Amino acid sequence: MDIFHLLTLIGGMSLFLFGMSVMGQALERRAGGKLRSMIGKFTTGRLAGLLTGLGVTAVIQSSSATTVMVVGFVNSGLMSLKQAINVIMGANIGTTVTAWILSLSGIDSGNMFVRLLKPSAFTPVLALWGIILFNFCKGGKKRDTGMILLGFATLMFGMETMSGAVSGLGDIPAFQNLFLLFQNPVLGVAAGAILTAIIQSSSASVGILQILAVTGKVTYGAAVPIIMGQNIGTCVTAMLSAVGANKNAKRAALVHLSFNVIGSAVWLLVFYLVKVIFHPLLLDQPASLLGIAIAHSIFNVLCTMIMLPLSGLLEKLVTKLVPDTKKPEIFAELDERLLTTPPIALDRCRKVAADMAKTAVSSLKEGMDSLQNYSAELAESIRKKEEKTDHYEDILGTYLVKLSTRQVGESSSREAAKLLKVIGDYERISDHAVNLLEAAEELRYKELQFTETAKKELAVISLAVNEILDLSLTAFLQNDLEAAFLVEPLEQVIDELKEQMRTSHIMRMQQEECSIDAGFVWSDLLTDLERTSDHCSNIAGCVVDVAHRSMNFHESLRKLRNNNEEFKEKYQEYTQKYVLR
């Protein structure tokens, strides 16, 4: 093996790792909805949690990514430690899928149909189809499918390149001695753990082991301990992700480490006893690609079999290792660990934005209520909700910008843009709630009064604003296009109500039925209510635009008003419903 073989090996390994990364990221984007659906089932029981971890890891091809995701869920309060244990155990089985796919490279047969199963036969076709989908299709899902195929083709090409480069290693005495050294199970476990910790992927390290097996010098006696060590090394990613997290998230990462260390220790002892007492001939046989995949799967299934019934004891162990403190547990609304899986991170953003929307709408309704039924408790509630929405806007804005820098699908990109727009509108609605409260306080402290006519008019516009808040909230939370459509005609009616009420109040001041000070407060109230309806219109417009794959709200609004008979009918209905007497 000369310098050129070494360079080929480095290039092949780089393509292999790059292809695995690209394929995994594209799989996450392509399976975003299904991924969220699978994650949503982890609360139904021990077996469901196990299958969820297995399924998610099989989809995204990375137990490390799944475990980091789980740590993020626990840190956000979305998953309990008990649920996390089951998902982590399932992830260890799910990660074996990659080894089975890579084992196809070892197919050797004279039968044409069997040879077609070998990646070198079908990978060029997948690469061609992938580049067609990626370059010539506009749909985000089709482009993601193209990236999956290209990533897989790159991965397999890298593997073929490495296999060719390492073929000469079998004749090098130093290489032979190296794997003779790994016949010592403890050294084999250490080697597997170190390699996996460096590249932070057990799937990739198992793939590299399969490639080295092509030389024919890697025996099962050396391969099995290395596989055990790889399960320990993959825990590094989760342990690093738990730094700075709350205690339950640290416990979840520690569960991953404890599960693999205990499982490896138990089966390493069994392996050592079998090797010493029975001297099975299989352990001295050269390992094949398929044999390594089988050994990897058997080991992970056996670890799960002995540890799943002991999950309660595992939970007690990590609870003792990371004890409770007197400080209350703090959950992160948006955990940056979830950014490793953008579909899950975006789903979390939706939930936080939904809470923000409900809080803002509630604060505005309380603000209107304070005009008639002011109390210190109500004032405190409004101000707390305004602070909460300010906080939500800050964290959501920052998080969504970070998420937008990740490779996300076209639909996810539009959804992120919608959320960025909407959170600004809901933050302003909560500001208007405080403005209404301050108006109520000014009326109270200055002992100002509106006339009975003004109070009746205020009740009419308040009902209209209450309805438009409910419609826009329903449109946002449920992506309800019918509710979104009803917002715009009602917003136009509220604009006209405001102008009528302003004119009426000017006439009352001219007739000295109302004071000038009360008139200033009245003008501010109308402005806040009218601008609230404007923000509701913006929110509904975003929902409509995203549904129609457009972000030109003003153009959509112009078409809606000018060319829609149904709009005119609804406008007339609202005009008759909200009439100033």
The stretch 170-174 carries a mean pLDDT of: 65
Q: Provide the CB-side half-sphere exposure for 1 (13 A, CA).
A: 20
Q: What is the mean pLDDT of the chain?
A: 83
* Comparison of pLDDT for 567 and 76, the residue scoring more: 567
> Which residue type, as a one-letter code, is found at position 79?
M
For 490, other C-beta atoms within 10 Å of its C-beta total 26
pLDDT computed for residue 555 by the predictor: 57
pLDDT computed for residue 365 by the predictor: 95
β-bridge mates for residue 286, sequence order: 219
pLDDT computed for residue 117 by the predictor: 63
User: Which residue do the tokens 């993601």 mark?
Assistant: 144
Phi, psi for residue 512 in degrees, rounded to 5: 60, 30
Q: What is the pLDDT of residues 362-409, one digit of tens each?
A: 999 999 999 988 999 999 999 999 999 999 999 999 999 888 887 666
With beta carbons less than 8 A apart as the criterion, state whether 223 and 213 touch. yes
- Is pLDDT of 201 > 80? no
pLDDT computed for residue 367 by the predictor: 94
| Tokens at 340, concatenated | 């490793």
DSSP code per residue over 236-294: HHHHHHTTT--HHHHHHHHHHHHHHHHHHHHHHHHHHHHHHHH--GGGGSBPPHHHHHH
Q: How far apart are CA 104 and CA 114, in angstroms?
A: 10
- Is pLDDT of 179 > 80? no
The stretch 247-267 carries a mean pLDDT of: 89
Query: Closest by alpha carbon to 443, among 526, 329, 520?
Result: 520
pLDDT computed for residue 422 by the predictor: 94
> Which residue type, as a one-letter code, is found at position 145?
T
- Is pLDDT of 345 > 60? yes
Q: How far apart are CA 86 and CA 73, in angstroms?
A: 14
Q: How far apart are CA 522 and CA 452, in angstroms?
A: 13
The stretch 313-333 carries a mean pLDDT of: 78
Distances (CA, A) of 440 to 118, 444, 457: 76, 6, 16
Task: Categorize the per-residue pLDDT at 491 as very low, low, confident or very high, splitting at 50, 70 and 90.
Answer: very high
For 307, other C-beta atoms within 10 Å of its C-beta total 22
Q: What is the pLDDT of residues 405-462, one digit of tens each?
A: 876 667 778 888 889 999 999 999 999 999 999 999 998 888 888 888 888 899 999 9
Task: Categorize the per-residue pLDDT at 1 as very low, low, confident or very high, splitting at 50, 70 and 90.
Answer: low
In the chain, DSSP finds a helix count (H) and a strand count (E) of 25, 0
Q: What is the pLDDT of residues 61-95, one digit of tens each?
A: 677 778 877 887 888 777 888 888 888 898 888 88
Q: How far apart are CA 293 and CA 385, in angstroms?
A: 55
| Tokens at 353, concatenated | 């934005």
The stretch 130-154 carries a mean pLDDT of: 84
H runs (alpha helix) in 446-514: 452-478, 481-510
With beta carbons less than 8 A apart as the criterion, state whether 419 and 427 touch. no
Distances (CA, A) of 576 to 28, 437, 464, 493, 570: 51, 29, 12, 10, 10
Q: What is the percent of the chain where pLDDT is above 90?
A: 25
With beta carbons less than 8 A apart as the criterion, state whether 469 and 532 touch. yes
Q: What is the percent of the chain where pLDDT is above 70?
A: 87
User: Residue 213 carries which DSSP code?
Assistant: G
pLDDT computed for residue 169 by the predictor: 65
| Tokens at 197, concatenated | 């910790």
pLDDT computed for residue 556 by the predictor: 58
pLDDT computed for residue 106 by the predictor: 65
pLDDT computed for residue 407 by the predictor: 65
pLDDT computed for residue 122 by the predictor: 77
Query: Closest by alpha carbon to 148, among 29, 267, 313, 243?
Result: 29
Task: Categorize the per-residue pLDDT at 326 as very low, low, confident or very high, splitting at 50, 70 and 90.
Answer: low
| Tokens at 506, concatenated | 């000017």
Phi, psi for residue 269 in degrees, rounded to 5: -65, -45
Task: Categorize the per-residue pLDDT at 124 as very low, low, confident or very high, splitting at 50, 70 and 90.
Answer: confident
User: Which residue do the tokens 């490390």 mark?
Assistant: 64
Q: How far apart are CA 296 and CA 207, in angstroms?
A: 11
The model's pTM: 0.72
- Is pLDDT of 343 > 80? no
Question: How big, in percent rounded to 5, are the helix, strand and coil portions of the chain?
Answer: 85, 0, 15
- Is pLDDT of 337 > 80? no
Query: Closest by alpha carbon to 55, among 78, 79, 39, 77?
Result: 39
- Is pLDDT of 284 > 90? no
Q: What is the pLDDT of residues 546-557, one digit of tens each?
A: 877 665 555 555
Q: What is the pLDDT of residues 8-33, one digit of tens each?
A: 878 888 888 888 778 877 777 776 65
| Tokens at 70, concatenated | 């789980």
Q: Please, what is the Cα angle at 237 between 314 and 34, to 5 degrees? A: 85
